[in-house]
Chain A
Amino acid sequence: MTHPITLRVNGVPYPLGVDAHATLLNVIRDQVALTGSKEGCDDSECGACMMLIDGQPVNSCSYLAVQADDTEVTTVEGLAPDDKLAPLQEAFLVEGAVQCGFCTPGMLISATCLLRDNPHPATDEVRIALSGNLCRCTGYDGIVRAVLDVAASRSADPRSIARPAVSRHER
């Protein structure tokens, strides 16, 4: 038996029928067909599946799709809605924060949320905020630098602050 729900994913409404036990991650990947969010562990250990639900980060592998009914879901695909990279995405590329890229979607979601809530984090605050997102390639060095770069450039030029895509969905 399936349950009717509506997910608004990156601003687009999707009326869906989902199994009661289906995870949000599987529904987004299989039914909404956005595969940017990754499954690394299916147990909230790695953070590769991280999405925002009404602006709050969750590990979508451990969140039921039915719980997300009538919410705003933001995935990595929603971070650059106009085919122009968000500053954080640009910074990830410039700082070598991307190697294999499998953790990148969750890492970007996590970092986007951090900078929204704490626009000028200290290095330790960045490291702690990202410690729920495992990366095996980069040693986190480039990732932390990328986040700090974006924070610094925002303080240098307030006009350049692109409000994160997530903020549009805050209620």
Chain B
Amino acid sequence: MTMAPERTPFIRSDGKEKVTGAGRYTADLNLTGQLHAKFRYADHPHARILSIDTAAARALPGVFAVLTWEDVPDVLYGGSVNDRRLFAKEKVRWEGDIVAAVAARTADLAAEAAGLIDVRYEVLPPLTDFAANAEADAQLVHEAWADYEADENLGLSGNILGHSSIVKGDADAAMAGADVVVKSRYVADASQGAPIEPRAIVADWQGDKVTVWSSTQVPFAARSGIAHTLNIPESQVRIIVPLLGGGFGSKCDFHFEAHVAALARATRRPVKLVFSRREEFLAPDHRREGMIIELETGASRDGRLVARRGRLILDKGAYCGEGGFFAQMAAMHACGPYQIDAVNVDSYLNYSNQQPSGSIRAPTAPQACWALEQHMDELAAALEMDPAELRRRTLIGEGDEGPAGQVFEEIGAKQTLEAALDMIGYGRELPEDEAIGVACGWWPSFGVPSGAYVKLNRDGTGTIVTGAMESGTGAVMGLPLLAAEALGMKAEDFSILYQDTDAGPWDMGSSGSQTTFNNGRAVVEAATEVREKLLDLAADDLEVSRDDLVLADGTLSVKGSPDSSVTIATLAGSGEPILGKGSGDVPEAPAVDASGCVGRLGLESFLAPQLITQAARVKLDRDTGVIRVLEVAAAHDSGVIVNRIGADGQVYGGVLMGIGQALSEATWFDDEGRQLNPGLLDYKLQTASDAPEINIRWVEIDTPNAGPNGGKGVGEPPSVPTPGAIGNAIAKLVGRPIDRLPMTPERVWEAIHGGPEE
């Protein structure tokens, strides 16, 4: 284990434009002749559409177009299941379903026109109980589910969109033989990504080609979505992402770009859409899923985990989107980074008439980890063992076997535990209203194709052309560090051309904490190709063998005779194009024996897993139930860190998001499935004065199968164990775990004072 050395802070190249106000975000763009778009959303969360009359809206002066399902190709789209249309046709299935779109001279006019559209419905009973929706006699959210094009590994059946199980050995027999068995049931409410920038889109047609500026995390998915739903080739769609004001997963997936492009085509004018904060809560098919987590663990007296049974039910909401893998991901988090002899975890992803759930920073993990880690503390209590000691005995290490038989290579789980305990001063004496809780978690690195070009400019500087997406994390901003290292140049010597689908190669986008892991490899490979060309050119120029050359500080010189040299600028200035391309080999997923598992989507093992332990010290006000987090110690194995300032920033922000999920963030619904708190006063994000002291330690291990220079991902894991660590601290103070997330003052107070169990 090595600790990260203090490195010189690396100033991100988009920093200056961001601190001066000069930087352009999508809502800052305006095109000559531009119109403004507004949507008409469903008037009921579940209803059959009888008729749509747009005449009054069209008649309003200043209205240029009103579009419904009749005005676009009748195409179904989705992620793992093609289950929705751009505009609702037969039914609306949640309150954010779009029935019509308007383009008008001003946004106010567009809103007025949207309100004039006369939609007649047959209101249907809202199917908001996602667990009950799986029962055999339940009404269907999608009557035509059997006709949908779907990934066969999901196990789509009626209201059950996905079913996954992870099975290892005979869990029933092992449970029967356990010395101690603990059962728990936890329920997590839905929550939101809540980026500070509400999304915005501008679309403009020139001839047959449309350019769309969009605040998306996934420009290539947006391009595919437009091409598919409007039935045009991808080559006629160009997505440009100006500066992106945060996403946290909520701006993943193809969303509204095609609606705006269709309006722009119909009006032959540029059209701009900007969401209000209320829409940013209500309309995206992206929120963190509600979840019911039932866990049962059998252990031997000495703390060996002999069996784990689990049953998880996740609320998918109305449509699939890119969240089809959630059941399997949740099942892995119900196992956690622990050595368990036998496992049988079943996980269900059910449709409902709620807002669709989609990837929000480590989808499924914070809730499942919160449940599992409190369950582990309950087990420790039953064993009369310190919770940290139970984890010390059971966390995975090199050579251990994961829940589907994956054999782990060198891995930093146990080191993160010891580091977090050390940082927080575990076991020290505390005031009676304070306690420390500990939680461990994990998250995979996603190996996917990715590409980049590196080219040299005539003055010896370089340009990286990449398909990767910068959502704010700094992952793309750090790419010059990798190119510079390969080329003996300075990171500041590179500009980056990014977030333009006509420029960089295809990329998965800012999702899955995978930009450094995958695009980093691509940049290194492209820079290495440039390096090879430079060596060839310099060998010719200096009339020496390539093997005798050294490349450093922008100069190629002959070993032993530094006077014999040529600069990169001289070679690049000769007019010879010097460029390289790279994709890098995608690491193979670890071998597993998943023969007993169903619903296999490739996540029953974790590639180059990232390990985390966090410890939280909290303070309880017994009179009010208010919890204040005083200190968080975060120890992470994310491999070798490329850019410390960026990596630290992910932990600070991720932990604070985790605290929000733990204590204050939930989307509440009424009985019909309408959001009750779509605003930042009632959906409470953590503020500067809420934030605790956060201490970070990196456990840097050169993990096999890691990304460039031994790096793994870092964006999502920081949020994973935070609610569990806080929950375990609260349970020590209250005397029992809070079984609902978020652990609001009301819920904590009721647990102390014996209020009604929910």
Contact = CB atoms under 8 A, between A and B. Distances in A.
B474 interface: yes
Contacts of B690: 131
Contacts of A126: 688
Nearest to B247: A100
A170 interface: no
Given A100-B195, A137-B649, A45 B681 contact: yes
A20 interface: no
Nearest to A142: B649
Interface of A: 29, 34-43, 45-46, 48, 75-77, 79-80, 85, 89, 92-96, 98-105, 108, 124, 126-128, 130-144
Contacts of B245: 38, 100-102
A40 B653 contact: no
A101 to B, nearest CB: 3
A96 B9 contact: yes
A143 B18 CA distance: 14
Nearest to B9: A94
Contacts of A75: 21
B536 to A, nearest CB: 38
B79 to A, nearest CB: 24
A96 B246 contact: no
B120 interface: no
B19 A137 contact: no
Nearest to B20: A80
Contact of B19 (A37, A43, A92): A92
B4 interface: no
B20 A89 contact: yes
Contacts of A128: 688-689
B276 interface: yes
Contact of B277 (A41, A105, A130, A131): A41
B120 to A, nearest CB: 32
Nearest to A86: B19
A110 to B, nearest CB: 10
A17 B655 CA distance: 47
Given A96-B645, A100-B195, 15 more contacts: A35-B28, A39-B274, A40-B197, A41-B277, A45-B679, A94-B9, A98-B18, A134-B687, A135-B653, A136-B194, A137-B246, A139-B649, A140-B687, A140-B691, A141-B652
Given A45-B679, A101-B243, A139 B694 contact: yes
Contacts of B198: 39-40
Interface in B385-421: none
26 contacts: A35-B25, A37-B21, A38-B197, A41-B679, A43-B680, A45-B679, A76-B21, A77-B22, A80-B19, A93-B12, A93-B16, A96-B649, A98-B12, A100-B195, A100-B245, A102-B25, A102-B245, A102-B472, A105-B21, A108-B19, A130-B689, A131-B690, A136-B657, A137-B649, A139-B691, A140-B691
A127 B691 contact: yes
Interface in B265-290: 274, 276-277
B15 interface: yes
B20 A77 contact: yes
For A40, A79, A127, A136, the residue with the greatest tally of chain B CB atoms inside 10 Å of its CB is A136
B196 interface: yes
B472 A99 contact: yes
A136 B21 contact: no
Nearest to B659: A139
A141 to B, nearest CB: 4
Nearest to A35: B28
A43 B471 contact: no
A46 B680 contact: yes
A145 to B, nearest CB: 10
A42 B197 CA distance: 12
The 4 closest A-B pairs by CB, nearest first: A36-B21, A100-B472, A139-B652, A102-B245
For A36, A46, A96, the residue with the greatest tally of chain B CB atoms inside 10 Å of its CB is A96
Contact of B649 (A36, A77, A138): A138
A135 B690 CA distance: 12
Contacts of A36: 20-22
Contacts of A141: 648, 652, 691, 694
Contacts of A136: 194-196, 246, 248, 653, 657, 685
Contacts of A92: 15, 19
Contacts of B680: 41, 43, 45-46, 134
Contacts of A103: 196
For B14, B245, B688, the residue with the greatest tally of chain A CB atoms inside 10 Å of its CB is B688
Contacts of B454: none
B572 interface: no
Interface in B639-697: 645-646, 648-649, 651-657, 679-681, 685, 687-691, 694
Contact of B688 (A42, A104, A131): A131
B24 interface: yes
Interface in B61-85: none
B473 interface: yes
B57 interface: no
A97 B197 CA distance: 17
Nearest to B471: A100
A142 B655 CA distance: 14
